[in-house]
Structure 1
């Protein structure tokens, strides 16, 4: 089917989104959600840390949640072995409830052609690494036909680039960065040649379009594509830099090329630079270039950033998430977190400073519509993966609380206070009434939480799941709702999720 205009999967009406006003006080970080147009700064709510009331209001809606997932990372033998472990696909799609997979397109290469129109699906060179990606995607899709596959380019084929290499050509471990405004290297002020030749831009677009064709032909159509992974960083591994202006140009050309080829339903996301690098030669410059170019602004569907401070160290802070949202809110486009570190595995780190905090801050302070950090698994339990081979860890279970409780394509709704002794967020899908609530107690004090649910007409089958030092997503049974309230015991350093059905007034 050909498209003359870019189709948007499930258009998002952002007019109902409120602002998030941030304040820092003696009680810590607080976010006061306001209705559109208000923007009145609210002080942090003072509460007794041993007892807390959290008000859930479905009338105050925020972003639509498109889902949770991770990136596949098949370069290591351990990872490939894990993906091929019987049942691993079920862990990913069913036990964890992940509905997004992000992959690297640098392995789906093609030979050199003089004319871009000669680059076709049949010319994509499929190797063993490609099959690792596609086999996993097919297995997950068989379990969840609605899986959303995101595809990012680390590097295009070498023949399209100035340096004729897939990487920077530097020795292992040596990396560099450019200014967002030019190809000038930040350290030695040389000129970076790890970039696409301008005369090869049409070939680049034709190659990405052919890759989209190939995935569709394989029965695993792409949900979204990005032309660049961390476009300021020139790495010793597969990488390719783009200035902000050139990145906007390629977004425009790619979107138009996909439309022409009948792939107008594929979303485009970017710039996939660091969330907190909001200086004039960082992420801010890319956002500005994208929005000042009318063709690029039309084609870009989702803003996306990476949760690192430097490309390696995790950035899970409230500040960077909220500050990026403040930067992009006026452009009326959703935001995805498409890579990032997520902290340690051992309890209680996931709920005191790691994965749980990262997810909450992205969804609530940053209004992220998708949370897709780095690897799903690895041979060692590190800050970059969520599992140890095919085994879950406390960090995995923290992710599970969100992925299983938050209904796909439901909206985040008001849960206040969102940032207090207990971190709180709530989600509701009006079509079927699915309600999800996630609570995190990062403190060393037990707390009884009263959920105020009276603004729903009815709440039923509200089931509680909890992880503590001695519980692992244990089913704590149905939580009664009496007179519009439900009480939840939150032990020190714990996370709980509630799943039920709620009817609107």
Structure 2
């Protein structure tokens, strides 16, 4: 006797489904105003879990929950000064609405990991500054003139406090773009290197520790810190070349500073591109003192392959890997995020949350692509979201900190790709990406059960089940 479809269902168990699609990914036309899109975190009819059956579908995804890999720290974006400058132009109610849309998992996308800058970066509306700017020729090894007052005056501190008030579980990590100019070989925030000598290493370690302490005094705990944004780059905005041997010395000195002052901030090394990651990280982590001082490895995706993260995970399994900077667009971008996670990234952070309709205000040397939020430069309370908000939400809204990535086959690149996590509360979440121009059907097999689904062209689907 043939079993009916109804009798093959797990009683009460279905797969919840949400879709988001791309629209003109990365197109500068988004700065001119919103565009219609097909799906934006749209809940779809649930799919039944059924007993396994033969399938003629070309793509089958095999999921093995018992085989779990890295733990997820979080997914987020940046609260660099450009974004905060634009938020500050808005009324308090609208600013609060955007914060909810970013951080609330029910009414937003549940981002829970935010990157801030130590002093200014290239994405700022302000003249470049640090917390210890001195007249040329002066030094201040005791940092008597250290202050974060500019961050207070510019509303950076208050905005971060607003985020934490709305979402207390958000974690903050910080990245510096340049040491104070007096510590550098060229006496400028642009380009240059940290001056040689232990007194400068110790002074910079003290400077970072004081920045962490000053934020803690404001009620903002800094969960982690990278030691130098893009340490292999010297360019005409705040930057500083820092070879691995010097970063190792700095990590050791800063770890001692933190311990002596009762601060638990974690230290992440590198904070630059895949291409140079292994060559930079190995000299630090192959040294016993360097290894002990380091809590994780931070990476950017502007050059090289994400596969180096898998190499680093195999070489240094006790040092989590974090994707601290990259913005991506469309379903190709969503597939790239899945690739980060499939290569052992424990986090993902987008870079720059809100530009205005005149692509402002920043001092980067290129032309940025559209951000998740775009503000009308002439009517600051008017804003619109790009599809990148929803596409990032296909991951962030459904994954909780502490989720474990579990083994899944990749599907077929010409059809769909995926990444699968098990949340701490026990549900499984598969994010499946269709980059093609046609609808793609697939079957997912997991622990004696399966479901089949059809995913529209240029769409990301999230599937959640127990």
Report the TM-score when normalising by structure 1: 0.69
Listed as ranges, the matches of 1:317-332 within 5 Å are: 320-332=305-317
- Equivalent residue in structure 1 for 2:173, among 150, 157, 160: 150
1:129, distance to aligned residue in structure 2 (A): 6.9
1:490, distance to aligned residue in structure 2 (A): 0.9
- Equivalent residue in structure 2 for 1:300, among 294, 299, 324: 294
- Equivalent residue in structure 2 for 1:81, among 81, 89, 92: 89
Q: Structure 1, residues 158-212: CA drift from partner, whole Å, max 9, x if none?
A: 22222222113xxxxxxxxxxxxxxxxxxxxxxxx44344331111111111111
Question: For residue 338 of structure 1, what is the aligned residue in structure 2?
Answer: 324
Cα distance in 2 between the residues matched to 1:249 and 1:96: 39
**Change beyond 3 A, Cα 1:243–1:411:** same
1:128, distance to aligned residue in structure 2 (A): 5.0
Cα distance in 1 between the residues matched to 2:76 and 2:157: 16
- Equivalent residue in structure 2 for 1:285, among 279, 300, 314: 279
1:299, distance to aligned residue in structure 2 (A): 1.2
Cα distance in 2 between the residues matched to 1:488 and 1:64: 27
Cα distance in 2 between the residues matched to 1:397 and 1:404: 9
Cα distance in 2 between the residues matched to 1:486 and 1:396: 27
Question: For residue 375 of structure 1, what is the aligned residue in structure 2?
Answer: 352
Q: Structure 1, residues 441-486: CA drift from partner, whole Å, max 9, x if none?
A: 112232222222335xxxxxxxxxxxxxxxxxxxxxxxxxxxx222
Contact residue 335 and residue 418 of structure 2 kept, 8 A: no
- Equivalent residue in structure 1 for 2:338, among 356, 360, 372: 360
Listed as ranges, the matches of 1:13-412 within 5 Å are: 51-75=58-82, 78=86, 80-81=88-89, 85-86=94-95, 87-94=97-104, 95-107=108-120, 109-110=131-132, 116=141, 118-119=142-143, 123-127=146-150, 131-168=154-191, 193-198=192-197, 199-263=199-263, 265-275=264-274, 277=275, 282-309=276-303, 320-332=305-317, 333-343=319-329, 350-351=330-331, 353=332, 355-364=333-342, 366-380=343-357, 382-383=368-369, 385-389=371-375, 390-412=383-405
Cα distance in 2 between the residues matched to 1:328 and 1:245: 21
| Structure of greater relative contact order (alpha carbons < 8 Å, 6+ residues apart) | 2
Question: Could you say what secondary structure the match of 1:233 adopts?
Answer: coil
Question: For residue 41 of structure 1, what is the aligned residue in structure 2?
Answer: none
Cα distance in 2 between the residues matched to 1:251 and 1:209: 11
- Equivalent residue in structure 2 for 1:495, among 450, 460, 464: 460
Question: For residue 446 of structure 1, what is the aligned residue in structure 2?
Answer: 439
Count of aligned positions: 376
Unaligned stretches of 5+ in structure 1?
1-46, 169-192, 310-314, 344-349, 456-483
**Change beyond 3 A, Cα 1:48–1:435:** closer
Question: Could you say what secondary structure the match of 2:89 adopts?
Answer: helix
**Change beyond 3 A, Cα 1:255–1:127:** same
Contact residue 405 and residue 498 of structure 1 kept, 8 A: no
CA RMSD of aligned residues (A): 2.6
Contact residue 59 and residue 412 of structure 2 kept, 8 A: no
**Change beyond 3 A, Cα 1:79–1:307:** farther
Cα distance in 1 between the residues matched to 2:248 and 2:151: 33
Question: Could you say what secondary structure the match of 1:136 adopts?
Answer: helix
Cα distance in 2 between the residues matched to 1:49 and 1:216: 58
Cα distance in 1 between the residues matched to 2:336 and 2:56: 22
Contact residue 226 and residue 268 of structure 1 kept, 8 A: yes
Unaligned stretches of 5+ in structure 2?
1-53, 121-129, 360-367, 376-382
Q: Structure 1, residues 214-259: CA drift from partner, whole Å, max 9, x if none?
A: 1111111001011201011112111111112111111111112111
Contact residue 407 and residue 434 of structure 1 kept, 8 A: no
**Change beyond 3 A, Cα 1:49–1:60:** same
Q: Structure 1, residues 105-135: CA drift from partner, whole Å, max 9, x if none?
A: 024503669675x447x94241157643322
1:90, distance to aligned residue in structure 2 (A): 0.8
1:384, distance to aligned residue in structure 2 (A): 6.2
